[in-house]
Amino acid sequence: MKSVAFKVFRLLFLGIGLFLLWGVIQKIGPDAILEQIKNLKFWLIPVLSIGFGWYVSYTLAWQKILKMQGNDIPFWPLFRAKISCDTVTTMTPANFLGGDTMRIYQLRKAALNVTSVAASVVVDRTINSIAIVSVIFIGSVVAFLAIPGLPKQVAIGIPLFLVVTISMIVFFMLRQHKGLFGSILRLAQKLHIAKRLCKKFKDKAEELDQQVASLYKKSHRTFWTALGFHVVGRLLGILEVYCIGLTIDPHFSMTVALLLATVAPVINMAFTFIPGALGIMEGAYSAILYLLGMNPVIGLTIQIVKRIRAGIWMGLGVIFISFFRHHQKADLAADPLRRPLRSFQ
């Protein structure tokens, strides 16, 4: 029943996003947008390929963390799992929780044990959050110094977002050192929430806490290397925005690209209930460029091209997930003993 309600709400908010997107397109003019997209011409493919670079960076970061545990998993399965993760994150109501669960599920047989994969995903997600905040901090400093007359919403919103996000990251990192998941289960037991499940998974939660804490203590060099890969991935996202904008308008600057890339995570977090902040992001990009005295159609075109890139990678993610499920069924057919017991009842 709950899953049905989630799907209904997801579809509802997707409809709201599509309506907002249609409104922004009508406001700016479909012909003007098509004209700008045509200006990209043969540059569209090189621009879209930048996304491959950050997927490689994120995968290398995760691989570093896994190797520190003794999980020597090849690059390709991790790359597929990362793309599948982002696809599930975008397409399901569970957001990154659903995506990270997919990562764990796909690698559960390739690693030493499931708990070690889960611990690597927790640390990787935390490092990714630190990278996002780092790039937002750099972007906001550059924007405040280089761009006169920043929109008030941006000038107030970004510092506020940084304070809240940094506080959350610090809190969760401290809790991870002390046992985050065990404390969540203990709190749930005190509140009489899912008592049976809490009791069932208590040992697993404590094992996960131990492995997460161990990862932070094992190698500071690995932590900083993984963070470096994540920052590189974020910087490639800024490069993508800059390349699209520069192809449309030769006066488009890296500073403006940095500002747009800085605002994007803030909007995504604020409107997480709308899939991909559809319609919101397009409106925000257009509004920011308009307030900076630039043509708002550039902002909308940048976001539409980014949507095209996201759609291509999501399609690839769906193929990877289908391929994984097909192999799962083939494994069960080849070895019936691996099927759940209920299939024999």
Identify whether 241 is part of a domain.
Answer: yes
> Residue 144 contacts by C-beta under 8 Å, 6 or more apart in sequence?
150, 155
Is the separation of the CB atoms in 36 and 295 below 8 Å? no
Identify whether 69 is part of a domain.
Answer: yes
Residues in the chain: 345
Q: From residue 329, how far is each of 282, 306, 324, 338 by CA, in Å?
A: 41, 35, 9, 11
Burial 65-80 (b: 16+ CB within 10 A, else e): bbebbebebeeebbbb
Q: Which of 221, 335, 238 is nearest to 246 (CA)?
A: 238
Identify whether 338 is part of a domain.
Answer: no
Dihedral of alpha carbons 228, 231, 237, 238, sign: negative
Can you read off the two tokens belonging to residue 267? 């909007």
**What would the DSSP string read from start to end of 197-219?**
HHHHTHHHHHHHHHHHHHHHHH-
> Residue 220 contacts by C-beta under 8 Å, 6 or more apart in sequence?
none
Identify whether 46 is part of a domain.
Answer: yes
Number of domains forming the structure of the chain = 1
Identify whether 10 is part of a domain.
Answer: no
Q: Report pLDDT digits (tens) over 130-160.
A: 998 888 888 878 877 777 766 676 777 777 8
Identify whether 163 is part of a domain.
Answer: yes
Q: Report pLDDT digits (tens) over 241-256.
A: 998 888 888 888 898 8
Identify whether 333 is part of a domain.
Answer: no
Q: Which of 237, 7, 19, 247 is nearest to 134 (CA)?
A: 237
Rounded Cα distance between 108 and 119, Å, is 12
pLDDT in tens, the chain (345 residues): 445 665 666 677 667 767 777 777 777 767 767 776 776 666 777 887 888 999 999 999 999 999 888 888 899 999 999 998 888 887 766 667 778 888 888 888 877 788 888 888 999 999 998 998 888 888 878 877 777 766 676 777 777 877 888 888 888 777 777 777 777 777 777 776 766 776 777 777 778 878 888 888 877 888 899 999 999 999 999 999 998 888 888 888 898 898 888 888 878 777 777 777 778 888 888 888 888 888 888 888 888 888 888 888 889 988 988 887 766 655 545 544 444 444 333
Host domain of residue 315:
16-324
158 C-beta neighbours (distance < 10 Å), count = 23
Identify whether 340 is part of a domain.
Answer: no
> Residue 253 contacts by C-beta under 8 Å, 6 or more apart in sequence?
none
pTM: 0.82
